[in-house]
Amino acid sequence: MRRIDAAVRILLPLVLACGLAARAESSRPWARRNVAIVVYEGVEILDFAGPMEVFTAAGNGSFRVYTVAATRAPVLSQGVLTVHPDFSVEDSPAPDILVLPGGQSRGFTRSETGMAWVRKVTAKNELSMSVCSGAFILAQLGLLDGKVATTHWAAVPRLRSAFPRVEVKTDVRFVDAGRIVTTAGVSAGIDGALHVVQRLLGDDVAWETARYMQYAWEPKESASLLAPAKEALRALVFQDSERAVSLLSAQATRSPRDPVVLSRLGRARLLRGETKAAIQALESAVTLGDVRPVTLAALGDAQLASDANAAAERTFTELFRERGGAIDAYRLATAQGRQGKVDAAIDSLGMAVALGFRDQGLADGDADLRTVRGDPRSARLFGRNH
């Protein structure tokens, strides 16, 4: 275990660096992504709050979400909500995903510094997404030329007239044009954001996010999600454990080396309280190469449930290496705390706090961390970061 503790300490500066700068697309495919949501005077509330909810909820820490404005000055949304931007364009971390909401977007397009920043960001980031009239920001920079795009139905004529090189599509919730996703008005931003989550993290995470939000959305049937697989995934997401285990067991019999099926079966068995069988299925998925956070997190939780604490520590170390989220470091601390590894647990809890974990009440009441609560180093962690 000393090697694991040392590995975590080595990983800390790397993970913190990923939290401050955009991730490299080719490295650590599950690493936490930066999501910058632009706000400005007159921005539409749901245009930015809808995608913000999706990315904040998705993947249990897969996205670091923050707001950016031309300056740090507060902006007023729809005349009722004052928003204090987390960053200005001068000091914002580089985003992997840029979200451009609508509203009075014409005002933002008149900001030379704001538009220059968007131009710089969109040249290098992984993906940009507009909501409603946010499409006009992209269009004015020429980023929609020759592409299919959409916007709020009431703004379609103006977008077509002002930017004839854009192929404007109507009667759709969103359009995926590769590195740019445009969405229709207001609530359609939720659909677009869920589509981005599905594209980057898969059907399971996107559908579970929509379920958490109680939003009527589900992945479309595709080559990788045919009707039987979709039916089984629906049962899993809606926590019909009996049906999920039945359907997924049949799938696993037909495809015994499919890691996605085995991961889903393991999670379904965990829902049904079959911890030993869940661990077996999840370990098989990992052995076959499934290192998705959704699989590793479920395996670590199952190992904790069976008091396989050393195994859970190894799993959560791998999870932290793959994604590097605050909740991943927290889970690692709990596995170490259960083993009485106070120094390692405090190090991991410190990483969680440094990465944004703020739920002191959870930590204070967590029985898995009882071995570290009396240590003065643990008591100082939250106070130092508030």
Query: What secondary structure does DSSP assign to 297-324, as a single string?
Result: HHHHHHHHHTT-HHHHHHHHHHHHHHT-
Is the model's pLDDT at 17 over the cut of 50?
no
pLDDT for res 378: 84
Residue holding tokens 């898995």?
A: 368
Write down the mean pLDDT value for the chain: 93
Q: Which residue has the higher pLDDT, 25 or 200?
A: 200
In tens, the pLDDT along 118-133 reads: 999 999 999 999 999 9
Is the model's pLDDT at 194 over the cut of 60?
yes
Q: Which of 297, 230, 338, 281 is nearest to 62 (CA)?
A: 297
Q: Which amino acid is at 110?
A: R
- Distance CA(309)–CA(77), nearest Å, equals 48
Work out the pLDDT band at 23, boundaries 50, 70, 90: low
pLDDT for res 27: 63
Mean pLDDT of all residues in 234-248 = 98
370 HSE (CA, 13 A, CB side): 4
pLDDT for res 212: 97
pLDDT for res 282: 98
Which CATH entry fits the domain spanning 32-207: 1.20.1050.10, 3.30.70.270, 3.40.50.880, 1.20.58.340? 3.40.50.880
Where along the chain do its domains lie? Answer: 32-207, 224-384
What is the domain class of 224-384 according to CATH? mainly alpha
Question: What does DSSP assign to residue 246?
Answer: H
Is the model's pLDDT at 266 over the cut of 70?
yes
In tens, the pLDDT along 268-297 reads: 999 999 999 999 999 999 999 999 999 999
Is the model's pLDDT at 2 over the cut of 50?
no
Q: Which amino acid is at 339?
A: Q
What value, to the nearest 5°, has the Cα angle with vertex 59 and ends 50 and 101?
Answer: 25
15 HSE (CA, 13 A, CB side): 32
In tens, the pLDDT along 293-345 reads: 999 999 999 999 999 999 999 999 999 999 999 999 999 999 999 999 999 99
Q: Which residue has the higher pLDDT, 285 or 7?
A: 285
